[in-house]
Amino acid sequence: MAKGDVVDRAEGFLKKNLETMPQKKRTEYQNQKLRGIVLYAYKNSVAFRNKMDSARLKPRDIQTIKDLEKIPITKKTDLMELQQKNPPFGGFEGVPVTEMRRIFISPGPIYEPGEADYDELGWAQGMYAGGFRPGDIVINTFSYHMVPFALQMVDNSLHMIGCISIPTGVGNTEQQVNILKSFKATGYCGTPSFLLNIAEKAEEMGLDLKEDLSLKAGFVAAEMLPESLRSKLEEKFGMIIRQTYGTADIRCLGYECMKKNGMHIPDDKIVEIIDPETGKQLGPGKIGEIVATTFNKTYPLIRFGTGDLSILSETPCPCGRTSPRLIKIMGRVDQATKVRGLFIHPGQVNEVASRYPQVANYQIVIKRKEDKDEMIFRIELQEEVRQPEKLKQEIEQSIRDVMKVRGDVQFIPKGTLPEGAKKIEDQRTWE
């Protein structure tokens, strides 16, 4: 327990009966849920029915998790393609739009049916496992506009536990510090690098992070969390930091408990680790793509390929939760990668470059500097330009417009980039 904290944040469960089910019971529980959602989605989601029909499958063919192998995997690119053909949701929605409380838009763009009623357990289970307790006052620094994470998922989940959320959103570091201080806030939701920004700002303002602030639990996502950064933040604030993993489309897919033993898969999600080439399940211990199935009736994605690589573990966790765990995220199946929590695709890099006829050759390099992602757009020009500084600024603005992430432009001599160089070169290491 952290110094001065009277709350026991280490023990207990949000939904004990679900989180501690014996393995056999869990499989039965999930198979039953799976049959239900397959039947529901077949009736209510045009995209899913088409997928089943094209594979000559009927709902009765899917009885168990193993049977999922018969269903072709849906990728993010399929979502975008089908949404263009059949706007706005590509037929993936499971309820009429009039029944949705909200609609979200993620980069791509991908249109996401919001909830009818938010009842997803994953993130709330994760927050509880990570030390959040009823009565915690929490700043939620994820972005609230357009994308679903902050408003729909984090905010609703805090409410499910009985926490009080302050929707601070991104940026305004100094104001965030003042808010933390005024409310003696005990919880933080956001990226690890932004928490580091807050720590630096608070120190700059002459505050003692442990004495003047009251943070006890942090729930971080959307970026890698190297152990060095975690322990640095935990020590600075005297708080617990646990990470979670998921996507906007399929929501929570894993969360850490106090034992830091990989990420527990929520009880209302089926996660397969598959061979990306064959689509077959690999079982525990083998690296493969994370493919997930949700029981969400508003947006019933079945066998959604995340493109992320991980390894599954079924060995018992000393925390008492019986769910299998994802042993860290190992990288991307394809070239797309995340920078400061947002996906960037080679297509976006091409899009930026195509706006400037002066550009001959280019590559994005992603680095890690002082625990923050850094994106450098290396460019070879056709010929010398008269005002390179002006061009640099214009391209940097286009990067922000197209990729939604800040990047630095660096002009390099012609012929520097090797032939066939990757459009996105990820040089980050995670020690």
Q: Which is nearer to Zn ion, 137 or 319 (CB)?
A: 319
Q: Which is nearer to Zn ion, 82 or 161 (CB)?
A: 161
Query: Which member of 319, 339, 349, 366 binds Zn ion (CB under 5 A)?
Result: 319
Supply the minimum distance, in Å, between the C-beta of residue 123 and Zn ion: 16
Q: Which is nearer to Zn ion, 259 or 372 (CB)?
A: 259
Short-list 246, 411, 259, CA closest to 329: 246
Q: Which is nearer to Zn ion, 242 or 321 (CB)?
A: 321
Binding mask 239-258 for Zn ion (x = CB under 5 A): ------------------x-
Considering CB under 5 A, how many residues would be counted as binding Zn ion?
5
Supply the minimum distance, in Å, between the C-beta of residue 317 and Zn ion: 3
- The set of residues, in sequence order, having a beta carbon less than 8 Å from that of 284 and lying 6+ positions away, is 311, 312, 313, 314, 324
- What number of other Cβ atoms are within 10 A of residue 428's Cβ? 16
Supply the minimum distance, in Å, between the C-beta of residue 260 and Zn ion: 9
Q: Which is nearer to Zn ion, 150 or 257 (CB)?
A: 257
Supply the minimum distance, in Å, between the C-beta of residue 274 and Zn ion: 24
Short-list 178, 190, 333, 308, CA closest to 254: 308
Supply the minimum distance, in Å, between the C-beta of residue 256 and Zn ion: 8
Q: Which is nearer to Zn ion, 106 or 323 (CB)?
A: 323
Report d(CA 137, CA 255) in Å as an integer. 21
Pairing of strands 110-113, 408-412: unpaired
**Which residue stretch of 91-99, 144-152, 272-280, 321-329 sits at the interface with Zn ion (rule: CB under 5 A)?**
321-329
DSSP result, 72-107? PPB-HHHHHHHHHHSTTTTT--SS-GGG-S-EEEET
138 near Zn ion, rule: CB under 5 A: no
C-alpha dist (Å) from residue 375 to 142, 294, 372: 20, 33, 10
Short-list 143, 97, 135, 106, CA closest to 5: 135
Subset of residues 298 to 317 that bind Zn ion, contact rule: CB under 5 A: 317
321 near Zn ion, rule: CB under 5 A: yes
Residue 303 φ/ψ region, left for φ over 0, alpha for ψ in the -120 to 50 degree band, beta for the rest: left
Supply the minimum distance, in Å, between the C-beta of residue 321 and Zn ion: 5
Query: Which residues of this chain interact with Zn ion, rule CB under 5 A?
Result: 257, 259, 317, 319, 321
